[in-house]
Amino acid sequence: MASDAVELRNVTKTYGPVRALVGVSCRFEPGRVSVVRGPNGSGKSTLLGIVGTLTRATSGRVDHGPLGSRRAEVRKTLGWVGHESLCYPDLTGRENIELAAHLHGCDAGAAFRRAEERFEVGAFAGRAVRTYSRGQRQRIALARALVHEPRLLLLDEPTTGLDVAAVERLIGVVRDEANRGVTVLVVTHDAAFSDALSADIILLERGRRVAAASS
């Protein structure tokens, strides 16, 4: 299936008096990793939420290629890993993955087997997620987000709390996804992570897009 660029034109988002985004235009290409950077409160998560249709822009246009701005359609093609893992803590890792597969109408057994191979979750997938380390939770969260082979992958600060080996593994997964044509959008402060992905950089300052300084 061909995927198309996600395009934002002159997007503004206000929360009452707070201007979270001001006239932001950008384009996210299939097969590319784009990294959104900027200080706390600069609008990064808001931008991710708008691309992921969880938040509506106050004004401006958001286009998802042939899907246009049809939220239900966009959501079917979307994988999301937020600050929080979105896993159910009292379910096991395996149950979380199988539940996600069910919700997307995918084969649950096959989804878990893929997760076992790709994320090596076998050693802990039978325990409740609340007993996991941050890195273990992150692996389940990623596996969960990828069960339906999304065309658009959104990651909010995915390297926070991960050790070097876990970051390496994450880089591998993100590269593989981009190589199969997925549009990847990452919010991160981790410069080494975005360098490793040779990402396009989108820099935000107080809700406005500014030119990225060359390093």
Residues at the interface with ligand ADP (CB under 6 A) = 15, 18, 20, 38, 40-46
Tell me, residue by residue from 150 to 189, as one string, x for binding to Mg ion by CB under 5 A and - for no binding. Answer: ----------------------------------------
Report what 41 binds from ligand ADP, Mg ion, none; CB cut-off 5-8 Å by kind.
ligand ADP
Q: Which is nearer to ligand ADP, 40 or 214 (CB)?
A: 40
Q: Does residue 50 contact residue 63 with C-beta atoms inside 8 Å?
A: no
What are the Cα distances from residue 16, in Å, to 30, 41, 49, 58, 82? 34, 15, 17, 11, 24
What are the Cα distances from residue 145, in Å, to 1, 77, 85, 103, 179? 19, 10, 10, 12, 17
Write the CB contacts of 33 (distance below 8 Å, at least 6 apart in sequence): 174, 175, 178, 184, 185, 186, 194, 197, 198, 199, 200
Query: If binding is defined by CB under 5 A, does position 45 make contact with Mg ion?
Result: yes
Q: Which is nearer to Mg ion, 48 or 62 (CB)?
A: 48
What are the Cα distances from residue 56, in Å, to 46, 107, 155, 212? 9, 32, 19, 26
Q: 78 forms bridges with which residues in the sheet? A: 152
Q: Which is nearer to ligand ADP, 15 or 192 (CB)?
A: 15
Q: Which is nearer to ligand ADP, 44 or 209 (CB)?
A: 44
Min separation Cβ 26 and Mg ion, Å: 17
CB atoms within 10 A of CB 15: 10
Min separation Cβ 4 and Mg ion, Å: 26
Report what 53 binds from Mg ion, ligand ADP, none; CB cut-off 5-8 Å by kind.
none
Q: Which is nearer to ligand ADP, 41 or 68 (CB)?
A: 41
Residues that bind Mg ion in the complex, under the rule CB under 5 A: 44-45
